[in-house]
Amino acid sequence: MSSVKRGRGAAGKRPRLRVRSAGPADLAQVVAIDERATGLAKPEYWAGILRRYGRRGAPRRFLVAEAGARIVGYIVGEVRDWEFGSPACGWVFGIGVRPDTREAGVGAALLEAITAAFRRLGVATVRTLIARDNQLVLSFFRSQGMMAAPVIPLEKDIG
Amino acid sequence: MRLQKNTLLALYSVLEFAAQPGRQLSVAGIAASLRASPHHLAKVLRTLGRAGLVDSVRGARGGYRFAGNARRVTLMDVIGLFEDIGATPPRARRSRRPAELALEQVLREIDDTARATFGSVTLDTMLKLIGRRDAKATG
């Protein structure tokens, strides 16, 4: 996995970032970032994500952003063919950034890295799905140039 | 989706200010660029000023300048000052028919989507979008 390096190092405001594939040693910090955002610790879920998305070569990516020895963000996604009738495109399933490193380009670097990986896998579109009331994440993806996709998510209560 | 005239005027003018932060712009100058009446625009700017989005500068060469944070202020923040998207209709005196209730549910779905969209687009994102459109137009 190629890495994206960004930032001006210790002298600048932004941390020097390295984006790379996630490994087992990163899981605890990823779980903590996710727990901070969602209020739920899901170590088993993230161990499963690492098993399925952490392998090299597959059309799946689980990347982390590292600043020094600290994991400051993660992103998970994969290329899917003909899902929902759509030609192959990259899907971003999850993104998280430590609150104390927000607005420092971490999310943008992660999205840039996974987008580059998707492009290398031959796709020209990246999509994601976000809860309507998640204004923080919606605004982030909008700021990265993402617009409404020509699809409408539907659901039905079957309880 | 249609926005009221005042709302559109507010959005265009606040984008004009946000594109030139720190720069003082005259009401007459913005009114001319937006082809709006200065009197009408002045009213809109007063509302934006009360909301803390612009600061008025007094004096003969007075005007307004941007006072918000373009990375935080969303289109919904501006729109909400002038109109209420998806305001709950006044309660009907009679009980409503199922068809009315069903249609109301669909309209509410559209309003929720509109609010989420406007609430997720910041002025900074709009300026980037305008920049991309501009670059496309100029080839």
- The CATH number linked to A61 is 3.40.630.30
Domains and CATH numbers, chain B: 5-137 (1.10.10.10)
pLDDT > 90: percent of chain A: 70
- Which residues 44-103 of chain B have a CB within 8 Å of chain A? 71, 74
- Which residues 47-86 of chain A have a CB within 8 Å of chain B? none
pLDDT in tens, B102-123: 998 899 999 999 999 999 999 9
Give the pLDDT score at B90.
Answer: 62
- Which amino acid does the sequence have at B81? L
List own/partner pairs for A14-17 with CB under 8 A and 24 or more apart.
A14/A104, A14/A105, A15/A67, A15/A68, A15/A72, A15/A101, A15/A104, A15/A106, A16/A67, A16/A68, A17/A65, A17/A66, A17/A67, A17/A72, A17/A105, A17/A106, A17/A109
* B8 inside 8 A of chain A by CB: no
CA pseudo-torsion sign B128, A117, A105, A39: positive
Spatial contact of B25 and B17, defined as CB atoms under 8 Å apart: yes
Q: What is the ipTM of this complex?
A: 0.79
In a domain, A151, yes or no: no
Spatial contact of A39 and A58, defined as CB atoms under 8 Å apart: no
* Domain count for chain A: 1
Residue range B114-134: mean pLDDT, rounded = 94
In degrees to the nearest 10, what's the CA dihedral of B102, A128, A98, B118? -50
User: Where does the pLDDT of residue A12 fall: very low under 50, low under 70, confident under 90, or very high at 90 and above?
Assistant: very low
In a domain, A103, yes or no: yes
User: Where does the pLDDT of residue A9 fall: very low under 50, low under 70, confident under 90, or very high at 90 and above?
Assistant: very low
In a domain, A150, yes or no: no
pLDDT in tens, B46-104: 999 999 999 998 876 778 999 999 999 999 999 999 998 876 666 666 778 899 899 98
pLDDT in tens, A86-135: 889 999 999 999 999 888 899 999 999 999 999 999 999 999 999 989 99
A4 pLDDT exceeds 80?
Answer: no
Give the residue numbers spanning the domain of A88. 5-143
